[in-house]
Amino acid sequence: MSAQEPSASSGNHLGARAERRWASLAVLCMVFLACVAAVAGLHYLIMPQARVETIDPTTAPISGEFVESNLGSTMEPDGSVTVRAVGQRYSFTPSCIVLPTDTPVTIRATSADVVHGILIEGTNVNTMLIPGYISVITTQFANAGERLMPCQEFCSLGHEGMWGKVKVIDKSSFLALASKTKRVSCVEQ
Ligand SMILES: [Cu+2]
């Protein structure tokens, strides 16, 4: 009897050790999962919203899709409208965008310097413009009228003066303008 006591207590001891080992394994698993969640979260946090297309920000304003002559609203063969715009300290080019009512609109925009934002009041358009990336967002306007388009991302001292506007006009008037020129701008208005 007395000889069995030590072996029973050493069995308890072993059991306690195994339990501690499993407990630390469980804690390790939790720490690992927390790290995975943190890394994944940070990764998505630092990536821009629309990160499907990239562009060289140093050449964006002078060559390729975002040269000045290619900016503004243009009618696509499928009947939709594409707007190209560039944000830079402290303005948008073009600063006034003309768009038709009842037409699918795709906005393609980028930044030439620092992070800006583009927001069109009363619409779903609200996205960051990040140098090196093309932000793409689609929208549609039911009513004609003017809408403000501020930069919604603090881009330094002139930020509060960085405003553009969107002139939504009747679809038929827009089509008339688009038949005369490839890029519709506020100047022809
Ligand atoms: Cu800005």
Ion ligand 1 neighbours, Cβ < 5 Å: 116, 151, 155, 162
Distance 114 CA to ligand 1 centre (A): 8
Model-level pTM?
A: 0.70
| Segment 40-79, tens digit of pLDDT | 988 877 876 555 788 887 877 777 888 888 888 999 999 8
Q: How far apart are CA 84 and CA 105, in angstroms?
A: 11
| Segment 106-123, tens digit of pLDDT | 999 999 889 999 999 989
CA angle centred on 78, ends 177 and 96, rounded to 5°: 40
